[in-house]
Amino acid sequence: MFDDFFVRAVIGGIGVALVAGPLGCFIIWRKLAYFGDTLSHSALLGVALALLFEVNVTLAVFVVSVAVSLMLVFLQRRASLSSDALLGLLAHSALAVGLVTLAFMTWVRVDLMGFLFGDILSITTFDLAIIWGGGMSVLVVLMVIWRALFAATVSYELALAEGAKPDHVNIIFMILMAGVIAVSLKIVGVLLITALLIIPAATARRLSSSPEQMAFFAILIGVISVWFGLFGSLELDTPAGPSIVVAALICFILSLMPVPLGLFRNNGQNQRGADNNAGVTIDDR
């Protein structure tokens, strides 16, 4: 079965969707879209260092993403700049350093478009093992810290009162984000990773009445986006990674369409209440 490149692409894309959905929900609740963008931009620096030191690309991207996350925490405590200014500084600096490093490595031929926009059709069996192994590890950890992480999202003080150690949980969340960025790189590339995290979760908001339900729908919409995006790419001869994001965008647009009265009568109110309670940003830390 794994001899077919298209089958590997579908299985790899579904593996990423399974883990990107729940984490994307926390990005929506915490209003951290720019943080996801920062980590995805830093991925290119990880690619450059992997090629320079001849190490595994996924491992290098993960290490660099974790380093950028910890650097953000350090700068928040030492610098007088706002979080969005720090995120912009880190995102563009990491991207620029990565591009300059690649430019100096004249002895290496780099498929820059593949890293920027993904090359899901070139996934190997080893890549599948990394995607599913890393993704399932992230999901297991997320399930363990789900209650504490959601408490920290709703209220920092509430999490402290429950003994959840929100600072530690937030760092674990950043590490999980770094893991998802690393395993997603080959699927949709540096520039589209954040879209795969945010769009399915944003679509799931309208269909959900609880945090757990929103996470489930985000996974389902991600899987649907991968399926239709890849088949659309095959039929229309379009780039696979961007096609997946376009399929996710179509799902989001469809979710905005009018629905039969009463179908989601309580969902909108309940989800708005959850989002209002979970509106904690990095600044609140």
CB 148 within 8 A of CB 166: yes
Q: What is the mean pLDDT of residues 106-114?
A: 75
pLDDT at residue 69 above 70?
Answer: yes
CB 201 within 8 A of CB 63: no
Q: For a pLDDT cut of 70, what percent of the chain falls above it?
A: 89
Q: What is the mean pLDDT of residues 99-107?
A: 83
Lowest mean pLDDT among 34-38, 97-101, 106-110, 251-255: 106-110
pLDDT at residue 71 above 70?
Answer: yes
Quote the CA–CA distance of 166 and 148 in Å, as a whole number: 7
Phi, psi of 10 (to 5 degrees): -65, -45
Where residue 276 falls among pLDDT bands split at 50, 70, 90?
Answer: low
* Closest by Cα among 91, 60, 88, 87 to 73: 87
Higher pLDDT, 119 or 141: 141
* Closest by Cα among 164, 42, 165, 159 to 98: 42
pLDDT at residue 159 above 70?
Answer: yes
Where residue 262 falls among pLDDT bands split at 50, 70, 90?
Answer: very low
Q: For a pLDDT cut of 90, what percent of the chain falls above it?
A: 34
Tell me the per-residue pLDDT of 198-246, one tens digit each, with 9 for 90 and over: 999 999 988 888 999 999 999 999 999 999 999 999 899 998 889 999 9
Quote the CA–CA distance of 65 and 46 in Å, as a whole number: 8
Where residue 40 falls among pLDDT bands split at 50, 70, 90?
Answer: confident
Quote the CA–CA distance of 164 and 166 in Å, as a whole number: 6
pLDDT at site 278: 47
pLDDT at site 280: 43
pLDDT at site 52: 86
Domains of the chain and CATH, by start: 5-284 (1.10.3470.10)
Looking at this protein, which amino acid is placed at residue 82?
S
pLDDT at site 275: 53
Where residue 283 falls among pLDDT bands split at 50, 70, 90?
Answer: very low
